[in-house]
Structure 1
Amino acid sequence: MQCARYLPDKARTSPINTLQSCKHIDCERQRRKMEIMDYLIFPLSIFLVWRCIRVFTSRPIHSKSSTTKLPPGPRPLPIIGNFFELGNKPHQSLANLSKTYGPLVTLKLGSTTVINVSSPHTAEEVLHKNDHVMSNRPTLDAARALDHHEFSMVWLPAAAHWRNLRKVCTLQMLTVQRLNASQALRQKKVQELVDHVHERCSSGLAVDIGRAAFTTALNLISNTFFSIDLAHYRSNSSQDFKELVWNVMEETGRPNVADYLPALRFIDPQGIRRRNAVYLKKLFDIFDGIINQRSQLRASSVTSSGTNDVLDALLRLTKENDHEFSYNDMKHLLLDLFIAGTDTTSSPLEWAMAELLHNPTTMAKARTELQEVIGKDRPVEESDIAKLPYLQAVVKETLRLHPPAPLLSRHKAGSRRGNWRLHSAKGCAIGRDPNIWSNQNSFVPERFLESKIDFKGRDFELIPFGSGRRICPGLPLAYRMVHLMLASLLHSFDWKLENGMKAEDMDMSEKFGLTLQKAMPLRAIPVRVQRPLPI
């Protein structure tokens, strides 16, 4: 069913209504079928274009005269290389390979050589000391949908256009001054989350933690950009938007033969780029409607009711210097920031709550700290976060075990370094390396209480948001939001699992896309706080 295009004259009611005709985008059965088809289509495609592929695979990547010696790795199969060894959870497969072959593992994926980096020392060499050489990213075929790769801050090479977009993003949203100025807005949106949980608590109903957190993050970003809410807790609109965002991230993160056998790119054998184009079009329709309404408002004699948000600033930039920041740049930047700012905020929060419910003693310690520092008569504020070392340790431990985007840190070598790429299995190899972390697979926040390791890109033992030039620009905002939401949920409520489930029976399995989500959404029942808290 085609998605009804959002019209400007209807925008004043609810811009997200354009998603209501787009429900049930993908059921779980269709996803499983696509995963199976991915692996069935692959060998068929290889057979059909055999001669074309041989042109690429018969030529060695490094000439015989090259002095470059690649690290060890599993023996590749003819043509397809090590493609099937990645499986449907490549972040885990890469972590397991590093246990066998060491911190540097060479994989042949079609016509491309990939080197997986899984040690802090080597990650520092790549992301810090040689950042100027390794700062580009290989463009995934899924990102070519609607030419997103030509405008996206995520996929553009680290050149003038990329620097301009990053500068726009930072100056309009992410400077310390901007973040401090928007503190009241974050406090308001988190309070709305707490109010929603209070309603569920009064009714004895469970809360879908990931969905509630996503709605909060979505409304924070939409108010920052558009001065409106795009979702409500008591409707399915945020879930519809979440489905679109997740589908984009899932398609982009899906193993795609076209990324490693460029000769197949024109036929899109798995249909990944085609499906991604559908999802991107629906998101762009929403943005177009909101932008058109604001443009008409600015062009009329009617005042903008005091709005002076990021959208106003971006519209001014497109008028002032169109060749440096165009309308297309603005739409694709909005897409990048909405995707990066919603799911990569809500997913760590859901994992943190899941780990705390899975470890009741740890949750009691975190809540006791909150009671001692905050008291019981006022809400948590951002200024309190610095006084909560155990809560900070909980967030660090969550990001160590469940990094938001475990394989997004892909880097492409410059032409002088050869035709090869690097992956950093930053969350599942470095984050679970027994040589770095004791009891590496257990949730132990205490390990960070006496440690100065942080996740802001300078300590390569913990780089969930990347490092160097390609570090996630939204890290300062994510830091504030994840801590504030988690502290507010723990301070205001006790929590118990739905249907009397015991902590040891929780499903803690992962679902892989560009971000790492729980395979089973976390549902928990809030309970009114009883004081004092036992440890």
Structure 2
Amino acid sequence: MVTIDEFLVGEIVSATLVCIVACLFIRSFLRNLSRKLPPGPRGWPIIGALPLLGTMPHVTLAKMAKRYGPVMYLKMGTCDMVVASTPDAARAFLKTLDMNFSNRPPNAGATHMAYNAQDMVFADYGPRWKLLRKLSSLHMLGRKALDEWTDVRAAELGHMLRAMHESSRQGQPVVVPEMLTYAMANMIGQVILSRRVFVTKGSESNEFKDMVVELMTSGGYFNIGDFVPSIAWMDLQGIEGGMKRLHKKFDALLTRMIEEHMATAHEREGKPDFLDILMTNCQENNTGSETLNSTNVKALLLNLFTAGTDTSSSVIEWALAEMLKNPSIFRRAHEEMDRVIGRQRRLRESDLPRLPYLRAICKESFRKHPSTPLNLPRVSAEPCLVNGYYIPGNTRLSVNIWAIGRDPDVWEDPLEFVPERFLLEKHAKVDAHGGSFELMPFGAGRRVCAGARMGVVMVEYILGTLVHSFEWGLPNGVDELNMDETFGLALQKSVPLSALVSPRLLPSAYA
């Protein structure tokens, strides 16, 4: 027979157990609530959302963001990925949580093309990356260094103008990206190697352009092996095989450059160029954190020659294409330049601050046709919260720069090419160097492109010179420009821009 005391004890124990279970349930519920992932599309088994991206991932992700919101989660194979698609979302990741997202995730491009991430673009945030960035900024990409090689840019641009002038005299159209690669590779070569890379424009410079485009295109692919590492060895898309073959071509080119450069070291006594400075910091097999090895040097040269030529040249090409579609922009730019510079001489870099409309054209090109449509991916070191959503550790981050540039909540008539918007007070102070999250063609935060300043200078100076120096028109028989895009690390025109040019300055300006 159960006594009253035993009955009460049983009831108390039962109630206690119920309370414990309830508390555990509530705790679990609250923990799961606080770990609510951002919304996003349902993916396929095993490979996740990879098949949903298609051939134009920046466009697909922009459309998805309209449905799922500015912070979107995708399961990509075995990996977590989050996409930011508005200025505020980008600011949350690249400013507030910048340190947590300061590294790059491992990928085939870094492994097979960038010497296993021994470069500046893909290296982990740490001593070696800081040294590569410091040397690049001090001696090539920073404001003072850029000022020191102003004459180099002017001289190389003169070579390009003479080649274009000759094409005009012969009535031949100019293939814009080929001309730009020829000039820009030589500009960079003069600073790094103290010599021109291509003496004349031709098959060698065109082959280099093709190699750069291939690198930028293949580097932008969403490679299945990056997201499902267990099957990476199969190379289902053939991407990694192509990367390895391309790497051999670049490695042979860079090795030849370095060997030829070392053989002429005695000619530069007391006047070191950038490669001399790198080699001074290069101590093979030294384990010190503040030294480089020969692989780091080649990897950095690969960064500078490829990104330095392709990203800026693609923006200039897009700008000229947009202006050919809108001749009134050409007319207004010519009026400004004729008023400020005249037609007796070429444009100089010192003229740029007095050409606000030209600079507005450049900003509008960065907005509508950003050099990198999806910023290079980053990865979270620790879990974090963004907009109330839980972001797990080791989550890949992509910022859709292309989508931000076309956000109707930020830009009026975002699909139209309207340079005048940057002359209005609302957008006049927006800059393209990484400080304005509504316009960030070079990214932002710690991993902002080290060449952002150089990129802006090159685009403004080269585009301004091309516009000021020539009248532009479509080739005979071409009534409408093809404005289709090809996705990659850099946003290419699917059909390279070809145009007829005619001189508009005194003949002496092209001498």
Q: Verify same fold: TM over 0.5.
A: yes
SS in 2 for 1:116: strand
CA contact (8 A) 2:343 2:505 kept: no
Which residue among 362, 373, 394 is the counterpart of 2:361?
A: 394
Q: Which residue number corresponds to residue 467 of structure 1? A: 444
* Sequence identity (%): 37
Shift of 1:393: 0.6
> Does the alignment pair 1:162 with 2:129?
yes
Query: Is the contact between residue 344 and residue 505 of structure 2 (CA under 8 Å) also seen in structure 1?
Result: no
Name the CA distance, whole Å, in 2 between partners of 1:467 and 1:289. 34
Structure 1 counterpart SS, 2:276: helix
Change (3 A) 1:66 1:162: farther
Q: Which residue of 2 aligns with 1:228?
A: 195
Q: Does 2:216 correspond to 1:249?
A: yes
Question: What is the CA-CA distance between 1:233 and the residue it aligns to?
Answer: 4.9
Partners in 2 of 1:303 and 1:207 — Cα distance? 37
Correspondence 1:309 to 2:273 = yes
1:443 and 2:420 are equivalent in the alignment: no
* Alpha-carbon distance change, 399 to 467 in structure 1, aligned in 2, over 3 angstroms: same
Q: How does 1:111-260 map to 2 (within 5 A)?
A: 111-145=78-112, 148-260=115-227
The match for 2:10 is none
CA distance in 1, matches of 2:65, 2:284: 50
Q: Deviations over 1:359-380 (max 9, x none)?
A: 1111111111111111111110
> In structure 1, how many angstroms separate the alpha carbons of the residues matched to 2:270 and 2:198?
22
Q: Name the SS of the counterpart of 1:524 in structure 2.
A: strand
1:305 shift after superposition: 7.8
* 2:487 equivalent in structure 1: 512
After TM superposition, the structure 1 = structure 2 runs for residues 1-80 of structure 1, keeping only pairs within 5 Å, are: 67-80=34-47
Once the two structures are superposed, the pairs formed by residues 515-534 of structure 1 within 5 Å of their partners are 515-529=490-504
Aligned AA (1:310): F
Change (3 A) 1:64 1:210: same
Deviations 1:220-260 (A, max 9, x none): 01111112222255411111011111111211111210111
The RMSD of aligned alpha carbons is: 2.0
State the AA in 2 paired with 1:460. Answer: F
Correspondence list, 1:213-362, <5 A: 213-298=180-265, 303-304=267-268, 308-319=272-283, 322-323=286-287, 324-362=291-329
Q: CA shift at 1:400, angstroms?
A: 0.6
Measure how far apart 1:316 and its partner are.
Answer: 1.7
The within-5 A match list for 1:428-439 is 429-439=403-413
Verify: 1:424 aligned to 2:391, yes or no: no
Query: Would the aligned equivalents of 1:145 and 1:276 in 2 still touch at CA under 8 Å?
Result: yes
Q: CA deviation at 1:320?
A: 9.9
**Which range moves more in the overlay, 479-488 or 137-146?**
137-146
Contact kept, 8 Å, 1:105 with 1:116, in 2: the verdict is yes
Aligned residues: 463
Give 1:322 shift. Answer: 4.6
Decide whether the 8 Å contact of 1:227 with 1:307 is kept in 2. Answer: no
Alignment deviations for residues 139-173 of structure 1 (CA, whole Å, 9 cap, x no partner): 22232116623302111111122111111211221
For the structure 1 residues 447 and 156, does the alpha-carbon distance in structure 2 shift closer, same or farther, using more than 3 Å as the test?
A: same
**Matched residue, 2:473:** 496
Name the SS for the 1:501 alignment partner.
coil
Q: Is the aligned partner of 1:96 residue 2:63?
A: yes
TM-score by length of 1: 0.83
Distance 1:116 1:499, change over 3 A: same
Alignment check: 8 A CA contact 2:211 2:246 kept: yes
2-side partners of 1:198 and 1:148: how far apart?
40
Quote how far apart the aligned CAs of 1:448 are.
Answer: 0.5
Hey, what does 2:463 align to over in structure 1? 486
CA contact (8 A) 2:100 2:382 kept: no
- Counterpart of 1:470 in structure 2: which amino acid? R
- Deviation (angstroms), 1:461: 0.5
> 1:385 — aligned with what?
352
**Structure 1: which 5+ residue stretches go unaligned?**
1-62
| Deviation of the 1:319 alpha carbon | 4.9
Q: TM-score, normalised by structure 2?
A: 0.87
Question: How far, CA to CA, are the matches of 2:340 and 2:113 in structure 1?
Answer: 50
Question: Which of the pair has more CA radius of gyration?
Answer: 2
Tell me if the contact between 1:252 and 1:513 (Cα under 8 Å) persists in the aligned partners: yes
Asked whether the 8 Å contact 1:88–1:255 carries over to 2, the reply is no
Letter in 2 for 1:419: N
Structure 1 residue 440: deviation in Å? 0.8
Cα–Cα, structure 1 residues 500 and 529, in superposed 2: closer, same or farther, change >3 Å? farther
Distance in 1 of aligned mates of 2:134 and 2:72: 35
- 1:392-437 Cα deviation digits (max 9, x unpaired): 110111111111111233221113442322110112x111011111
Query: Structure 1 residues 286, 409: CA separation in 2 closer, same or farther (over 3 Å shift)?
Result: closer
Alpha carbons of 1:234 and 1:176: their partners in 2 closer, same or farther (altered >3 Å)? Answer: closer
Deviating beyond 6 angstroms after TM superposition, the runs of 4 or more aligned structure 1 residues are: none
Counterpart code for 1:510: E
Alpha-carbon separation, structure 1, partners of 2:33 and 2:121: 32
Deviation at 1:295, TM superposition (A): 2.3
SS in 1 for 2:304: helix
Residue 296 (structure 1) shift: 3.3
Note if contact 2:343-2:504 (Cα within 8 Å) is conserved in structure 1. no
CA drift of 1:447 comes to 0.5
Q: Secondary structure at the match of 2:482?
A: coil
